[in-house]
Structure formats: structure tokens, C-alpha cells
Amino acid sequence: MAATQDPIAKLTADHREVKRLFREFEGKGDRAVKAKATLYEEIAEALTTHTALEEEVFYPGVRSVAEEMVAESLEEHQQVKTLLADLAGLEPSDERFDAKMTVLIENVEHHAEEEEKEMFPRVKRALSATQLRSLGTQMADWQSQKRAA
């Protein structure tokens, strides 16, 4: 299965990229206000795109085999969206910015770990290679449409 057609590989790669951005953010000192602002924008964009992809394509495609996990994931996505909105209203120099970013990082990393250790293995066991490829193609098509818009 090509990487672009493997939905699990795509989502896992997204998780790795967001974690990389988190580590970069955590490595910035208190006075790195501009760098933190830039990283927040990159993190927000990556998370917004990733959660939309999961909500609009992946979760509907796997709901029948992981319904309870999908419901929990949607709740976790709502928490992430709220934290991103809160962060958007703060300057990186605000003392609450780093605290909220820490909570965001913890929530996202917990969510990604649950998906990778619980949901993704269940999906791989339950769906055929053809179903997985089809879901991966749908995800790639969705991303192409979003880029073109």
C-alpha cells in the first residue's frame, strides 16, 4: 500500500509532525515571543487540518468498527479547538500562553497515543486492504480539494 493511500500511515505522520513542532516550541525560552507566535501558527494550522481530515473523512470511514473511540476522539478534538481559540486570543508574552500551550500539548499527545495504540490497530484488523486503500484515497482527495480551495 502506498504511503499516500495508507490512512493510518498518513495520520501517524501528521502526529509525528505536530510532536516535532511541540518539541520545537518547548525548546524556546521565555523571551522567544516571535518564534513562539510563529510556531503557534504552524501548530494551529497543522492541528486544524488534521482534525478536519479525521472528522470529515477518517472517522466516518471507521465509525462502524470503532464507534466508542470515534465518539471519544471527537470530544478530544473539541477540547483542542477550544484551547486553540483561547491561545489565538493571547499574546505569547502573556503568562497564560505557555500554560495553555502545555495543556494543548498534553491533550494532543494523549489523543495521538490513544489513536496509535488503540484505534489504529483496531481499524487495521477490521478493515480489508481494499477498504483501507479506499479510505486513504478519500483522504488524499480531501486534502487535494482543501489545498485547491
How many domains does the chain contain in total?
Answer: 1
Q: Assess contact for 136 and 4: CB atoms under 8 A.
A: yes
- Domain of residue 124 covers 3-148
Q: What pLDDT, on a 0 to 100 scale, did the predictor assign at position 148? A: 86
Beta strand ranges found along 82-128 (DSSP E): none
Dihedral, CA of residue 26, residue 28, residue 31 and residue 32, to nearest 10: -120
User: Using one digit for the tens of pLDDT, what is the confidence trace for 62-94?
Assistant: 999 999 999 999 999 999 999 999 999 999 999
Distance of alpha carbon 114 from alpha carbon 11, whole angstroms: 13
Predicted TM-score (pTM) of this structure: 0.92
User: Using one digit for the tens of pLDDT, what is the confidence trace for 102-143?
Assistant: 999 999 999 999 999 999 999 999 999 999 999 999 999 999
Residue 15 has a CB neighbour count (10 Å cut-off) of 19
User: Using one digit for the tens of pLDDT, what is the confidence trace for 7-24?
Assistant: 999 999 999 999 999 999
Helix (H) or strand (E) holding 51: helix 33-53
CATH number at residue 130: 1.20.120.520
Distance of alpha carbon 86 from alpha carbon 6, whole angstroms: 33
pLDDT at 4 exceeding the cut of 60: no
